[in-house]
């Protein structure tokens, strides 16, 4: 897989490479300006580290990962897949690591490759991944409306009515009728009928995932600087807002730094901007470590649980 990945990266058009480099450079400049603006405060700040909060943050992250994998497994089963839940969990976790690669939709390429080895329909996997993407965006929009709706019109380029419209269109798209039409259009056979309760249940699960991500962000921030619990809703809203917007620009060759810039700008409203940059970057590093530890752990626990069930 390594040589193939290198060949694909080398085959990228020069315009895409320049755009990716430009996007990353712009993000670095913005973060650098935020750091430089309050460099004196940054040098005088008394750093502290709370391992207990980091441990709790990992548990919250792991809970969100479990919800995400089980939701994906449920979605695939409802779409007609005959593979076991354990297999869906394995493939979801393995392809999730590819999201950290620069570029777009590497995780989808890895996911389809894994399912292809098990004889699964690529049309089904692609369609289910599209549904997952829309559910993720819709859940992120709803979570942002609940936790940070009061700041949407002032702190984003997308006005509040646009955010409401995006959520409304998502709910209409998730209605079973257009989904059944698309299933017939894509000629995906042997698919059970989808009901609205299934779709709303998946949206609710992804809302919990967004909330868990915002809670992790809040805990990581508190491990660096004391932040009152009353700000938790703001952190969750900021996390879901920036995360949803970063998904909407997934077509760019690279959105590296987009999340950090967005979180830093929003976080600068409650703490000094220089600390906001450090926390945003530290949160990305922490999430990467959580994935490297949590994903293998979840795969191991799933396989152990499957073996226990089979023996019983």
Nearest CA-CA partner of 122 in 185, 192, 187, 203: 187
CA distances, 202 to each of 18, 63, 92, 95, 172 (Å): 38, 16, 16, 20, 15
Let me know if residue 42 belongs to a domain.
no
Let me know if residue 225 belongs to a domain.
yes
State the Cα–Cα distance between residues 119 and 75, nearest whole angstrom: 18
User: For the CA atoms of the chain, what is the radius of gyration?
Assistant: 20
End-to-end alpha carbon distance in the chain: 38
pLDDT at residue 166, rounded to an integer: 61
Question: pLDDT tens, 219-237?
Answer: 999 988 888 888 888 899 8
Within 10 angstroms of residue 82's Cβ, the number of other Cβ atoms is 11
Let me know if residue 46 belongs to a domain.
no
Let me know if residue 283 belongs to a domain.
yes
What is the count of structural domains for the chain?
Answer: 1
pLDDT at residue 26, rounded to an integer: 47
- Given a cut of 70, whether residue 73 has pLDDT beyond it is yes
Tokens of 53: 């909060």
Give the pLDDT band of residue 213 (cuts 50, 70, 90): very high
Concatenate the DSSP letters of all residues of the chain into one string.
-HHHHHHHHHTS-HHHHHHHHHHHHHHHHHHHHHHHHTHHHHHH------HHHHHHHHHHHHHHHHHHHHHHHHHHHHHT--S-HHHHHHHHHHHHGGGGSSSSSHHHHHHHHHHHHTT--HHHHHHHHHHHHHHHHHHHHHHHHHHHHHHHHHHSSS-HHHHHHHHHHHHHHTSHHHHHHHHHHTT--S-PPP-HHHHHHHHHHHHHHHHHHHHHHHHHHHTTS---GGGHHHHHHHHHHHHHHHHHTTTSS--TTHHHHHHHHHHTTTS-HHHHHHHHHHHHHHHHHHHHHHHHHHHHHHHHHHHHHHH-
- Given a cut of 90, whether residue 61 has pLDDT beyond it is yes
Backbone angles phi, psi at 250, to 5 degrees: -65, -15
- Full-model pTM: 0.77
Let me know if residue 246 belongs to a domain.
yes
- Given a cut of 90, whether residue 265 has pLDDT beyond it is no
Let me know if residue 17 belongs to a domain.
no
Question: pLDDT tens, 150-197?
Answer: 544 444 444 556 656 666 666 666 666 666 666 666 666 555 566 778
Give the pLDDT band of residue 111 (cuts 50, 70, 90): confident
Domain hosting 69: range is: 54-311
Mean pLDDT value of segment 275-282 = 82
Nearest CA-CA partner of 140 in 67, 218, 1, 243: 243
pLDDT at residue 169, rounded to an integer: 66
Let me know if residue 285 belongs to a domain.
yes
State the Cα–Cα distance between residues 174 and 39, nearest whole angstrom: 48
Give the pLDDT band of residue 110 (cuts 50, 70, 90): confident
The answer to whether 256 and 280 are in contact (CB under 8 A) is no
Within 10 angstroms of residue 255's Cβ, the number of other Cβ atoms is 21
- Given a cut of 80, whether residue 1 has pLDDT beyond it is no
Tokens of 18: 């320049």
Q: Which of 104-108, 129-133, 153-157, 229-233 has the lowest mean pLDDT?
A: 153-157
- Tokens 């430009």 sit on residue: 22
Give the pLDDT band of residue 142 (cuts 50, 70, 90): confident
Question: pLDDT tens, 19-44?
Answer: 445 544 544 554 455 454 545 545 55
Let me know if residue 27 belongs to a domain.
no
Give the pLDDT band of residue 254 (cuts 50, 70, 90): very low
- Given a cut of 70, whether residue 12 has pLDDT beyond it is no
pLDDT at residue 253, rounded to an integer: 45
Top pLDDT among 206 and 32 is at 206
- Given a cut of 60, whether residue 17 has pLDDT beyond it is no
pLDDT at residue 250, rounded to an integer: 59
State the Cα–Cα distance between residues 175 and 157, nearest whole angstrom: 28
Looking at every residue in the chain, the average pLDDT score rounds to 75
């Amino acid at each position: 897989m390594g040589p193939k990945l290198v060949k694909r990266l080398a085959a990228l058009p020069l315009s895409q490479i320049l755009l990716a480099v430009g996007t990353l450079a712009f993000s670095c400049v913005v973060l650098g300006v935020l750091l430089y603006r309050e460099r004196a405060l940054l040098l005088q700040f008394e750093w502290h580290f709370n391992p207990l909060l980091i441990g709790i943050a990992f548990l919250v992250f792991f809970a969100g990962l479990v919800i995400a994998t089980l939701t994906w497994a449920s979605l695939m089963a409802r779409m007609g897949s005959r593979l076991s839940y354990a297999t869906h969990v394995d493939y979801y976790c393995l392809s999730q690591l590819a999201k950290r690669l620069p570029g777009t939709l590497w995780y989808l390429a890895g996911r389809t490759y894994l399912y292809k080895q098990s004889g699964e329909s690529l049309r089904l996997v692609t369609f289910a991944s599209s549904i997952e993407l829309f559910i993720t965006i819709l859940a992120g929009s709803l979570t942002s409306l609940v936790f940070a709706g009061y700041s949407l019109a002032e702190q984003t380029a997308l006005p509040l009515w646009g955010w409401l419209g995006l959520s409304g269109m998502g709910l209409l798209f998730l209605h079973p009728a257009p989904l059944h039409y698309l299933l017939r259009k894509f000629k995906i056979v042997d698919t059970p009928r989808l009901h609205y309760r299934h779709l709303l249940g998946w949206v609710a699960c992804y809302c919990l995932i967004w909330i868990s991500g915002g809670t992790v962000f809040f805990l990581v921030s508190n491990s660096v600087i004391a932040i009152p619990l009353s700000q938790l809703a703001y952190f969750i809203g900021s996390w879901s807002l920036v995360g949803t917007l970063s998904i909407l620009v997934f077509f760019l060759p690279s959105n590296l730094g987009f999340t950090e810039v967005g979180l830093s700008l929003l976080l600068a409203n409650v703490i000094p901007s220089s600390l906001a940059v450090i926390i945003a970057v530290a949160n990305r590093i922490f999430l990467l470590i959580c994935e490297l530890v949590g994903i293998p752990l979840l795969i191991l626990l799933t396989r152990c649980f499957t073996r226990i069930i089979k023996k019983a």
